[in-house]
A and B are shown apart, each in its own frame.
Chain A
Amino acid sequence: MTATVTEGRTERLERVSAATRTFMSRHAAMTPTFAALVILALLLVGAEASLRGDFVTPRTISSLLLDNAYLLILAVGMTFVILTGGIDLSVGSVMAFTGILGAQLLGSGVPAWLAVTVMLAGGSAIGLLIGVLVQYFDVQPFIASLAGLFLARGLAFVVSLSSIRVEDTGVLWLQQNRIRLGDWYITPTGILALVVVALAAFTLHLTRFGRTVYAIGGNEQSARLMGLDVARTKVAVYVISGFCGGLAGLVLTAYSGAGYPRNGIGTELDAIAAVVIGGTLLTGGRGYVLGTLVGVAVFGTIKTIISFMGAEQSWMQIIVGALLLLFIVIQRAIVARAERRR
């Protein structure tokens, strides 16, 4: 009797440990994402403790999504690009350009649906340009997207040198309408951002296109020899990133109630930082878009903590810098271990 019980327990233990092993061998690449989750939890618990229970409230958490919706959208687009081993420096400027363009169009009486379409198309077009440069002219992604950055920023100033207020009720509704559940709330911009995450996760994991994105990051030459459509996929990830730039432009315009040509200077770096903190390898091929969600949450939480403490925002950059260093070291260690095993 006792023996059977013990045996049952050993069996169960073995099953659990086998399941763990299977999980680990399948998802070793998730380790940095778990690390980011742990850090997020530590941040929340630490802030809650030191701020005497004023921090983790439905209000703060809800506003975290609201305040960072634009960054989340940019970071999702950036995840696609980084997974292929590329980089897109243009997204902050694209966001500013499409934002000011949209505000200008709305101000001159263009209907909201058309203005939004133009914003999304404009962002995608700049992404397409970068993608074509990278794929067909063999330009380094860094350089090609740097050109995109200057182009979009310049175009933003061409549209207007100063900020343009947005009066369109449809666009402002995206920000002002709050769907409430007790003290929790979510805005249409937040929903939009989460839908983008869900769509991206679906695309990356359950379509051939998504797996090709990972394949290119793993080994572009192999992906080509395996007969995958490398060229089209590489262009497409920059188009996606540009599209996300346009969408972020819309969200930011709704958020701030205006378009401003100096918006988003350096935001591309915030997006890259969020992606890396979320566990995506800068060399490509490994990472998760849900990790990017965690990365943005870490990023936003640090920002909120600092403003709660009334400290200088410059600390934000120092802390993010330190975190980035930490994560890059973790990733190096994982890659080095993977290489040793071979």
Chain B
Amino acid sequence: MDGALPLLELTGATVRFGADAALDDVSFRMFPGEVHSLMGENGAGKSTLIKAITGVLPLDAGTLTLDGTPVRFAGPHDAQRAGISTVYQEVELLPNLSVAENVLLGREPRRHGVLSQRLMRERAREILLDLGLDLDPGSALGSHPVAVQQLVAIARAISTDVRVLVLDEPTSSLDLDEVAELFRVIRELSSRGVAILFVSHFLDQVYEICDRVTVLRDGHLVGEYLTRQLLRIDLVQKMLGRDVSDFKARRRVPVDDEPGTEAFLSARGIASAPDLTPVDVDLAEGEVVGVAGLLGSGRTALARALTGVSRLEAGIVRIEGTPVDLDSPRTAIQLGVVYSSENRLAEGILGELSVLENITLSVQAQRGVLRRMRPARQRELAQSWVEALGIRPADLDRPAGTLSGGNQQKVLLARLLALAPRVLVLDEPTRGIDVGAKVEIQNLVGELADNGLSVVFISAELEEVLRVGDRVAILREGRLVDTLPSAELTVDSLLALVASPDEQED
């Protein structure tokens, strides 16, 4: 394959959002007829790279060439015309229109200059049957399950003269048979010379279908590998990466061997479909439990189940031995359990509000609208947290959105800590922030635990989980694999537990 010319090539691509580079000097190529996978954790830059080659986002630096000719797409329409079709992660079709229209709209067949629904249904039927999909093309798309809608989206993508087909997490809503059907279509297309970019967090599927894999981390290119030459464990390691940094060793709380006896918070058999099957978790006072797992392992589902964001479908949570009903984040907060989402911008920081407002928000919400805090008191409270956490710049009136990622995370922490919580659930608090801020946050978590706070610390970086956590809960595909004291684990042994167990096959 190395003799052939790449069909599509991205060189030195950089895409910035404000001050942060979502993609930093990344090169990427695809050959005709290959199935290529793009791997990386959340925020690694996968979506940004896809958007860059499909014309949704412009490149701030670097070039995109197609057949060796530099191209510049003004929008997704341009890319489609050049033969690059995309099926997006969330089904991006029109539920109110018919299946046939969803496949063909924009290049619909006409008769006497008038759009013919009958011709459209016939044409769509052929395309769908090609995909092994037998359904009434005249029916409304919204009347079908998401999996079928997904296949319709693929039908739309391949009904043009497609040369590069981008499938962003196409299998997340499909069952096994449907995945097999999709793979049959992918092989068929690749034998016709179509280059397919298959993005999925299911390692098994990547190993089954992909010839080559490109790994991204934190917006940087880690490397491009042949799938058959890359061990699964090496792939996972490349995705998660390792950082060396000076983390202060902290006093470990002696972990009780009998779980449940001294736990401050204990969860038994908690589940929330489809991402989390029944899991037991214990959290002692002053203990940090690290949670390790890949994307889609249920790590976020666990955090959300513990904090009342998603309702439990089974199981029970006790706090100091008393069963509690965590039916909403508000209840959880009243019980002293607070949550910081992995999605800092969408579910955390209110970028247009000031640092002061972002910090005092939680306390004000507790008091209710009618008992407004005096401005002087607000300022005092915010000031004390800005100093305690070292938020920089120490300007209370600055819009929080203009702070760096690390400082935004500290503002979020200040907001939660102002509530004087007993349990802190942090989902990826250090993602996408620079190393210095990372270490500060890790140290802060340690100090808080030393002062009696219980912390659930979720991170994609195994080394970080090991260093911060007293114990580590390992999740894989929605199941709790084991909970082990971090003293008994090394990064390599943790890696083996986090990746698939059927490693011997490869």
Please give the residue numbers on chain A whose beta carbons come within 8 Å of chain B beta carbons, in ascending order. Answer: 22, 25-26, 28-29, 205-208, 211-212, 214-215, 217-219, 221-228, 285-286, 338, 341-342
Contacts and interface: CB of A to CB of B under 8 A. Distances in A.
Interface in B91-145: 92-98, 101, 105-106, 108, 114-115, 117, 136, 138-140, 142-143, 145
Contact of B88 (A211, A225, A228): A225
Contacts of B145: 341-342
B139 A225 contact: no
B56 to A, nearest CB: 8
A207 B143 contact: no
Given A225-B88, A285-B96, A286-B96, A28 B140 contact: yes
B115 A221 contact: no
B106 A226 contact: yes
Interface of B: 76-77, 80, 86, 88, 92-98, 101, 105-106, 108, 114-115, 117, 136, 138-140, 142-143, 145-146, 156
Contacts of B143: 25, 28, 338, 341
B138 A227 contact: no
Contact of A25 (B96, B106, B136, B156): B136
A223 B86 CA distance: 14
Contacts of A22: 136, 138-139
Given A224-B76, A226-B105, A228-B105, A218 B97 contact: yes
A214 B94 contact: yes
Given A22-B139, A227-B106, A338-B142, 9 more contacts: A25-B139, A26-B139, A28-B140, A206-B115, A223-B94, A227-B76, A227-B80, A342-B95, A342-B146
A285 B102 CA distance: 13
A219 B94 contact: yes
B98 A26 contact: yes
Contacts of B96: 29, 214, 217-218, 285-286
Given A219-B95, A221-B92, A211 B139 contact: no
B77 A227 contact: yes
B136 A208 contact: no
B139 to A, nearest CB: 4
Contacts of A224: 76
Contacts of A218: 94-97
B268 to A, nearest CB: 31
A25 B140 contact: yes
A269 B164 CA distance: 50
Contact of A215 (B80, B86, B105, B139): B105
Contacts of A225: 76, 86, 88, 92
30 contacts: A22-B136, A22-B139, A25-B143, A26-B139, A26-B140, A28-B140, A29-B140, A205-B117, A206-B117, A207-B115, A208-B108, A212-B105, A214-B97, A215-B105, A218-B97, A219-B93, A219-B95, A221-B92, A225-B86, A225-B88, A225-B92, A226-B93, A226-B94, A226-B106, A227-B80, A228-B106, A338-B143, A342-B95, A342-B145, A342-B146
A211 B114 contact: no
A224 to B, nearest CB: 7
A245 to B, nearest CB: 27
A93 B179 CA distance: 57
A206 B114 contact: yes
Contacts of B139: 22, 25-26
Give the top 5 A-B pairs by smallest Cβ distance, nearest first.
A218-B94, A285-B96, A218-B96, A25-B139, A227-B77
A283 B485 CA distance: 54
A208 B136 CA distance: 21
A15 B445 CA distance: 68
B92 A215 contact: no
A141 B157 CA distance: 33
Contact of A222 (B92, B108, B138, B140): B92
Nearest to A284: B96
A142 to B, nearest CB: 22
B93 A208 contact: no
A207 B97 contact: no
Nearest to A210: B115
A223 B96 CA distance: 12
Contacts of B101: 211, 215
A251 B139 CA distance: 39
A207 B146 CA distance: 28
Contacts of A342: 95, 142, 145-146
